[in-house]
Structure 1
Amino acid sequence: MHLTTSPKTSRLAIIVGIAAATVGVIYGYDSSNIGGAMLYIAAEFSLTVEQQQLVTTTVVVGEIVGALAGGTIANRFGRKPTMVAVAVTFTLFSLLCGLAPSLVVLIIARFLLGLTIGVSVVVVPVFVAESAPTHARGAFLVMYQVATVSGIILGYLAAMALAPSESWRWMLALAAIPGIIVTLLLLRLPDTARWYVMKGRPDDARRTLERIEGTNVDVDKELESITASFRTGRKGGWRDLVRGPYLRATIFVVGLGFFVQITGINAIVYYSPRIFEAMGFTEDTVKLGLSALVQFASLIAVVIALLVIDRMGRRPVLLTGIGIMVLANALLVTVFLIGGGEFAGVLTALGFAGLVLFTAGFAFGFGSLVWVYAGEAMPAHLRSIGASVMLTSNLIANVIVGGVFLTLLTQLGGSGTFIVFGILAVAAFAFVFTLAPETKGRPLEDIETYWQNGGRWEPIER
């Protein structure tokens, strides 16, 4: 996966990347298992469409609160302890979801689950960006999306296996298993050298750099550069995000986070079974199986992104992915406009292809790059807070999509819904083209200079 080529990537660096990124499994599993479980939760509790949307999006409301607090928590207690706490509490709250005796308890449990996930989506990209060697940082960050998509697939497959028995409680409670595995993996890791420097622990920082970077860098020079970035940068505060040279950076991360979700990907993840139902499929196992198959295509796309991200660069990968989403929306609009009739079989196949293209485009572009930019887009003293702002914006858009998608699908039909998403994808393309920095091959400490120069890089010294 391009992680062991020259310059050589240390064994610990690989373990750090894999273990930290694997936190994405629990995020992905929770995103998809509710899609299968909702088929039976709705029947058991006699839920209206609005109540179904409430159960689905309550976890995202919790994620927003968690994401707002995540940067501060990660700065105070450390990246690693925060991630361990996330994995442990995710395990406990997943079990509570499965055991919920009433709708009220289920909603409370999903809110608490969202709190833990919200913290994780902030701290993991920061941890990986600060731990990964520069030459492979993009691939390490994309690994988080690989894990997330893998978790989504596992969620659909678990739901498909349990569909004949309609065991929605098991669908939700099984999320505890990846939570336990992730906890055990994380316990082996050190914290990041940059966090140790921030806390005045240079000896720990040096040991971590030596183990992560090996002979690839001059450790003394690297440690001096990291120390200088914290010494010259002000202590990160929320007001700094809207002042001076960093306002442009804030606009970028907030806008990118919002476009990632408002273009509709989680409508596909949460409600794939319902979309396939609208296309004419009736068997629950078929709807869930097709949903998993769509995500397999997404997994292939994100693996390709992992392999090319440090060659092509961030901007080309992101713009290509958004362009594919625009084309996919056009195909889905056409399918729903034409409708059934004598072309029903062909249209169903094209509709499935449209969903595959949409999710693959998202995974290649937005899905991969959101974590890259969450870890790379802000200077050291604002990195955790910037990631909080970016992913909070992302989650607010997630709430909007999750809360209105079924209503849009009911009132506007498939064609009207995907016209809206198509327009938003075009707007996202224009936004990224205008503001996204190219961070390939740049040390994290250089990003501060980029924003101070009004969005321009200084030439790389050869």
Structure 2
Amino acid sequence: MPVNNSKRRTSNKMMTFFVCFLAALAGLLFGLDIGVIAGALPFIAKEFNVTPHQQEWIVSSMMFGAAVGAVGSGWVSSSLGRKKSLMAGAILFVIGSLWSALATSPEMLIAARVLLGLAVGIASYTAPLYLSEIAPEKIRGSMISLYQLMITIGILGAYLSDTALSYSGDWRWMLGVITIPAALLLIGVVFLPNSPRWLAAKGQFYDAQKVLDRLRDTSEQAKRELDEIRESLKIKQTGWALFKDNSNFRRAVYLGVLLQVVQQFTGMNVIMYYAPKIFEIAGFTNTTEQMWGTVIVGLVNVLATFIAIGLVDRWGRKPTLVLGFIVMATGMGVLGTMLHLGIHSAGAQYFAIAMLLMFIVGFAMSAGPLIWVLCSEIQPLKGRDFGITVSTATNWIANMIVGATFLTLLTNLGNAGTFWLYAALNVVFIILTLCLIPETKNVSLEHIERNLMQGKKLKDIGSRD
């Protein structure tokens, strides 16, 4: 019997990681579509002779589609399930990538990127939600951080692809190559099980038990988790009705909105979308230098995400966030000061880039993955689809604002003023984290829900008291 139990634990653990890895592939496509535009944009601007304002719209149109996709994902995910939502996203990734590569005008490219945005919105909504409902609580933070790691790997992959293709200037291949991983995701999703929490919410308790039996170490553990899910399902209100009638649920929704605004206004996606432009500001005027500098940005982003995966379930969400915001504020502040004083030597150039990379480390180890972790943890089961829909849509609206205003901010505030603005925002986020954000490490979703619904302060809903 002990041998059989050991085999079961090994088999189920492998199954859990397989499921989580496949779901996280959605993050890879998310990252590819974020990163690819940075390298392609200079060549698109040259071929279509577009203005800086039009460039902002080419960049931010994807975020508009993502906001719409995130809103629609709530209904699709609730009605059809997490698995079918991910499948729909994969199909849209394939179509959008091909359409982008074949675009013959800025308007057609913008339309294609809106469609890609729908796919990204579905992925950014469904994948963290699915992972939070599949992963055991002891590794839940790490598994959702794996999703963020896949995003960073996707960004790096896009930067490498862009750099390799930059010598020929073929931006169509830059955009079209994403079709390949999109097709692989579509195939992989077929093998994913449905979320046990979604199955239970639909009254399919037998099927939910079967999924949990495949993913947990023992039958007793699976049964105990299903019992907790049954208990949380006794709250009959859902979505908008729960939002209107329950002030505690509204607090969770508003916190999710705040978390996503915080993540976007750190300034990270400014770097992701406009990395070659930032290297130009720092004095690297050669296109090859800018492209390889962008690759370094992507590589640091990937490596620093491993810090989050190592810390999130050991050190905790809150202290990791505070440290990250301190690092980001310092990096942006020093970079802004250097741009104000002027960068007149090679040493100053490389120090400026070191500050930029320091900022990226701060984001990748903290706000990048942990905001998604927290947003998936704080919403009660009966209102989870609605709460995560609102917070994910907020993410993309804020993302669109950031992408559509950076070049304008550079014009109006200057290079130094723009980076000082983002440094100041990160200081504000330290205070917000200390005052409002809970610590949810090693706490079950059902326990967090009970604390929330009992009216505990937001920063205390992860407490075990």
Normalising by the smaller structure, the TM-score range is over 0.9
Counterpart CA distance in 1 for 2:442 and 2:82 is 24
C-alpha spacing 1:207/1:236, structure 2 compared with 1 (3 Å)? same
How far the C-alpha of 1:282 sits from its partner, in A, is 2.2
C-alpha spacing 1:370/1:320, structure 2 compared with 1 (3 Å)? same
1:53 is matched with 56
**Cα deviation 1:149-205 (Å, max 9, x = unaligned):** 000001111110000111000000111111112222221110110011111111110
2:270 is matched with 267
**Matches for 1:303-452 after TM superposition, within 5 Å:** 303-341=306-344, 344-452=345-453
**Cα deviation 1:413-458 (Å, max 9, x = unaligned):** 2210011101111111111211111111111111221212322348
Residue range with higher mean Cα deviation, 141-150 or 413-422: 413-422
How far the C-alpha of 1:251 sits from its partner, in A, is 2.1
One-letter code of the match for 2:263?
A: V
C-alpha spacing 1:96/1:458, structure 2 compared with 1 (3 Å)? closer
3-state SS of paired residue (1:218): helix
Counterpart CA distance in 2 for 1:177 and 1:227 is 41
Structure 2 length normalisation: TM-score?
0.94
2:210 is matched with 207
CA contact (8 A) 1:122 1:384 kept: no
Counterpart CA distance in 2 for 1:458 and 1:129 is 15
CA contact (8 A) 1:313 1:440 kept: yes
Counterpart CA distance in 2 for 1:251 and 1:358 is 27
CA contact (8 A) 2:142 2:312 kept: yes
**Cα deviation 1:373-411 (Å, max 9, x = unaligned):** 121111101112111111111111111111110111233
Counterpart CA distance in 2 for 1:232 and 1:38 is 49
Counterpart CA distance in 1 for 2:282 and 2:229 is 54
275, 288, 291: which one aligns with 2:291: 288
1:173 equivalent to 2:176? Answer yes
CA contact (8 A) 1:152 1:295 kept: yes
CA contact (8 A) 1:234 1:381 kept: yes
1:218 equivalent to 2:230? Answer no
CA contact (8 A) 2:103 2:109 kept: yes
C-alpha spacing 1:134/1:335, structure 2 compared with 1 (3 Å)? same
1:11 is matched with 14
3-state SS of paired residue (1:134): coil
1:121 equivalent to 2:124? Answer yes
Counterpart CA distance in 2 for 1:113 and 1:406 is 23
Counterpart CA distance in 1 for 2:216 and 2:205 is 16
Counterpart CA distance in 2 for 1:51 and 1:184 is 36
How far the C-alpha of 1:241 sits from its partner, in A, is 6.4
CA contact (8 A) 2:440 2:462 kept: no
Counterpart CA distance in 2 for 1:354 and 1:241 is 45
2:67 is matched with 64
2:3 is matched with none
One-letter code of the match for 1:433?
A: L
1:107 equivalent to 2:116? Answer no
- Number of residue pairs aligned between Structure 1 and Structure 2: 454
1:253 is matched with 256
C-alpha spacing 1:141/1:458, structure 2 compared with 1 (3 Å)? closer
C-alpha spacing 1:139/1:110, structure 2 compared with 1 (3 Å)? same
Counterpart CA distance in 2 for 1:391 and 1:311 is 26
3-state SS of paired residue (2:234): helix
3-state SS of paired residue (1:237): helix
How far the C-alpha of 1:117 sits from its partner, in A, is 0.8
**Cα deviation 1:85-106 (Å, max 9, x = unaligned):** 1112101110110011222211
Identity score, percent: 35
CA contact (8 A) 2:242 2:383 kept: no
1:26 is matched with 29
1:454 is matched with 456
In structure 1, the gaps of 5 or more residues are none
Counterpart CA distance in 1 for 2:288 and 2:244 is 47
CA contact (8 A) 2:235 2:382 kept: no
C-alpha spacing 1:131/1:398, structure 2 compared with 1 (3 Å)? same
CA contact (8 A) 1:331 1:350 kept: no
**Cα deviation 1:118-140 (Å, max 9, x = unaligned):** 11111111100000011110000
One-letter code of the match for 1:416?
A: G
One-letter code of the match for 1:208?
A: V
3-state SS of paired residue (1:382): helix
One-letter code of the match for 1:296?
A: L
**Matches for 1:81-100 after TM superposition, within 5 Å:** 81-100=84-103
Counterpart CA distance in 1 for 2:219 and 2:285 is 56
**Cα deviation 1:353-388 (Å, max 9, x = unaligned):** 111011111111110112201211111011121111
CA contact (8 A) 2:443 2:462 kept: no
Quote the RMSD (CA, aligned, Å).
1.7
One-letter code of the match for 2:307?
A: I
Counterpart CA distance in 1 for 2:31 and 2:311 is 23
One-letter code of the match for 2:26?
A: V
C-alpha spacing 1:155/1:230, structure 2 compared with 1 (3 Å)? same
